């Protein structure tokens, strides 16, 4: 893939991301939206989340530079998109599940964080989990060594965030109690 194709790929991924974000916002602003629409949005997002990393896996297997990832030799580099597929799927599922649990137990859910200076730090900590940033990484897809390095860094950051968040989310979920029927 050349640099022009890589830029086009990143632009198309970003456009898809923008449309995905806009449809839900538009439905909420218009007072619309439905459980079926939310379900469909999550199904499409879950397919997209896995398919993107599996496409990287196939691309690296078929066309990738075996030495593109510094310090990793040969086909061992294929473990990166495989790992990213797993981490992204777990992150997506747990994030959606926590949102549903908080909605089901609003009285027991912690209040949303206020706007403080810690929001800047939080933004930096969650940056590796940001799909928009991942889309921008694809601008470098035409330069395999740069892409492989940035992609692996995104995986490392997302994995670290997930490993830190899982115990927190579990503790929060443990506080939710079934409402007496």
- At 41-58, the pLDDT tens digits run 889 889 999 999 999 999
Tokens of 178: 């079934």
Quick: pLDDT tens for 138-181.
999 888 899 999 999 999 999 999 999 999 999 999 998 876 55
Q: How many C-beta atoms lie closer than 10 Å to residue 104's C-beta?
A: 12
Length of the chain: 181
- Looking at residue 181, what is its pLDDT? 53
Instruction: State the residue for tokens 């597929």.
Output: 85
In a domain, 108, yes or no: no
User: Are 77 and 69 within 8 A, CB to CB?
Assistant: yes
pLDDT digits over 86-128, tens only?
Answer: 999 999 999 999 999 998 998 877 776 655 667 788 888 899 9
Is 34 within a domain?
yes
Residue with the two structure tokens 């632009």:
11
The backbone torsions φ and ψ at residue 73, rounded to the nearest 5 degrees and listed phi first, read -105, 145
Residue 113 inside a domain? The answer is no
Q: Answer whether residue 111 is part of any domain.
A: no
The answer to the question of residue 109 being in a domain is no
Range of the domain at 33: 3-103+119-175
79 within domain boundaries: yes
Distances (CA, A) of 100 to 4, 47, 149, 151: 41, 19, 35, 30
pTM: 0.84
pLDDT at position 114 is 59
Exposure string for 150-171, b = 16+ CB within 10 A, e = fewer: bbbebbebbbebbeebeeeeee
Count how many domains the chain has: 1
Residue 110 in domain: no
């Amino acid at each position: 893939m050349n640099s022009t194709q890589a830029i086009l790929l990143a632009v198309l991924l970003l456009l898809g991301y923008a449309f995905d974000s806009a449809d839900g916002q538009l439905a909420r602003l218009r007072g619309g939206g439905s459980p079926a629409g939310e379900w469909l949005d999550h199904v499409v997002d879950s397919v997209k989340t896995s398919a993107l990393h599996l496409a990287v896996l196939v691309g690296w297997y078929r066309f990738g530079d075996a030495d593109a990832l510094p310090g990793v030799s040969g086909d061992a580099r294929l473990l990166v998109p495989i790992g990213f597929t797993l981490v992204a799927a777990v992150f997506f599922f747990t994030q959606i599940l926590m949102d549903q649990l908080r909605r089901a137990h609003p009285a027991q859910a912690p209040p949303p964080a206020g706007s403080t200076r810690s929001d800047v730090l939080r933004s930096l900590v969650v940056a590796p989990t940001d799909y928009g940033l991942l889309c921008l990484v694809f601008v470098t897809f035409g330069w395999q060594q740069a892409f492989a390095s940035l992609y692996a860094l995104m995986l490392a950051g997302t994995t670290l965030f997930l490993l830190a968040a899982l115990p927190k989310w579990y503790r929060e979920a443990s506080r939710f109690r079934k409402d007496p029927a």
